[in-house]
Every structure is written in structure tokens, then in C-alpha cells.
Amino acid sequence: MALGRRDGDGPVEISWLGHSCFRLRSGDVTLVMDPYAETVGFPSPSLTARIVTVSNSHPHHSNWTSIQGSPRVLTGPGEYEIAGAVIDAVRTPSRPGQESPNTAFVVEMDGITLCHLGDLSQPLTTRLVGELGRVQVLLVPAGGRCTLPPAQAAEVVTLLDPRLVIPMHFKTPGCSVDLEPAEPFLRELGVREPTTQARLNVTAANLPREGLSVVLLQQTS
């Protein structure tokens, strides 16, 4: 992946809006990933963005029409450069009977490379690990059921070898989706007491230099 034009200018703010939805802010650019419909169990957040990524067409991941600001919406594989963000979108394998194909998005903003795995339901092949490339921050589905079970999700973490892992797509209060809580996934990673905070401001300088850090973000609006 090529470097974005605004490499290293400032922090990337990462906020979790619930389920698989994240907001990334860097300078004056806002990117929203997997906005959900209210059928997920809680109200859709009020958001404005320049870019929206959609990993699959299920309403819990594709409610992009609720996003204000006339964003550029990315819904499938390709390579994109928008407002200084460089984005690679890679199709992942589908499980038998899966209705909507899944796309993983690798986003580079201000020198930070972040990967949102969407509804990853099959292990990554060696080829896909190579296509996703060097990942510093990994957003990984942790609740099993329609995605990889916790043990296999932990194996994906090992394969991609990020510096920072943020679990998503797990059971939370109010969520109507049949998912497991985050704890089984955390145990597979050997994490007993993860760091919990409202949001992250990530720079190349403050990422862990070695080892793996796991952060549970608090759902925000």
C-alpha cells in the first residue's frame, strides 16, 4: 500500500459507535465504517463523514444512507485514495450459505494502517494475509456465531501481527444480535484485564513497539 499524502501530520482518533461501526478522524477528514440500522438493538448514531466503508450488505453493516455530508461510499474490493486516506478493499472467503460477501478494508491515514475485517467468517489464506499487508491496528469481530469463533479469530490476530487490537461485533447491552460476549475471544488472546477507554488517539509514535495491546472501546455516540 502506498503512503497517504498526509502521512504523520497528526493523530487518528478512533471511536466505536457499537457493533462493527467505527468513526476515524484525522484532521478535517472523517471516515465511518459499517454504519448500522436500528434493528441492531440501539439507535443509529447521528454522523457526518467524508468517506463510508461497508463490509457487507446486511442492514447492521450497510446503513450508509443515514450518514450526512454526501460521503463517498465504498462497498466492494478496489484501491482508493480519497482526501489523503489510502484504502485497499479486499474480498474475504465466504462460509457456505453466507448471503452477502464480505470485504475487509485496510485504511492508511497519517501513517497509521488500520484494518477492519468486517464479518470475517472463514480463516485467512496466506494470499489474503499478504494482500492485507502490514497492519498496525486491527478491528476484529470477537462475538462468533456468524463470524469466526473466538479461537480462530485469535489465530487471525496472530497471522496479521498488529500492534493494537480492538474487538468489535460482540454482545453488548441492548444488542439484539445473537453474539457471544468479548471475554472468550480475550481469553484466547491471553488477556484477562484489557484496557478500556472511550476513544483512542493513535500516532505512529504511541503505538506499542513490541508485543500486542488490546483495547476495549466504550460505545459512544
What average pLDDT is seen over the chain?
A: 89
40 in helix, strand or coil? helix
Tell me the CA distances in angstroms from 79 to 31, 88, 91, one per residue in order.
16, 5, 12
Q: Where are the alpha helices (DSSP H) in the chain?
A: 126-132, 150-160, 183-188
What pLDDT is recorded for position 145? 81
In whole angstroms, give the CA distance from residue 162 to residue 114.
9
CA dist 85 and 45 (Å) reads: 23
Distance CA 121, CA 119 (A): 6
Do the Cβ atoms of 116 and 89 come closer than 8 Å? Answer: no
Beta strands in 94-212 (DSSP E): 102-109, 112-116, 137-141, 164-168, 195-197, 199-202
Assess if residue 188 is contained within a domain: yes
Please, are residues 181 and 170 in contact by the beta-carbon 8 Å criterion?
Answer: yes
pLDDT in tens, 174-206: 888 889 999 999 999 999 888 899 999 999 888
Do 58 and 119 contact (CB within 8 A), yes or no?
yes
Please indicate, yes or no, if residue 1 is contained in any of the structural domains: no
Instruction: Evaluate whether residue 7 is within a structural domain.
Output: no
- Range from 93-102, 153-162, 169-178, 196-205 carrying the lowest mean pLDDT: 93-102
Instruction: State how beta strands 112-116 and 137-141 pair.
Output: parallel
Asked whether residue 170 is assigned to any structural domain, the reply reads: yes
| pLDDT tens-place string over residues 22-81 | 999 998 999 999 999 999 888 888 899 999 999 988 888 889 999 999 999 999 899 999
Domain extent for 58? 12-217
The whole model's pTM is what? 0.92
Q: What CATH code is carried by the domain that includes residue 197?
A: 3.60.15.10
Q: And the C-alpha cell for 45?
A: 448514531
**Inside any domain, residue 3:** no
Total number of domains constituting the chain: 1
Contact between 130 and 72 (Cβ < 8 Å): no
Is 2 part of a structural domain of the chain? no
Of 42, 78, 87, 46, the C-alpha closest to 60 is 42
Q: What is the pLDDT of residue 3?
A: 29
pLDDT at 62: 86
The Cα 212–Cα 191 span in angstroms is: 10
In-domain check, residue 139: yes
> What's residue 58's pLDDT?
86
Q: What is the predicted pLDDT for the residue at 93?
A: 84
Residue 80's φ and ψ, nearest 5 degrees, are -135, 150
Copy the grid coordinates of residue 28: 478535517
In a domain, 97, yes or no: yes
Asked if 179 and 196 touch (Cβ cutoff 8 Å), the reply is no
C-alpha distances (whole Å) from 62 to each of 19, 33, 109, 135 are 12, 9, 22, 24
Whole-number pLDDT of residue 97: 66
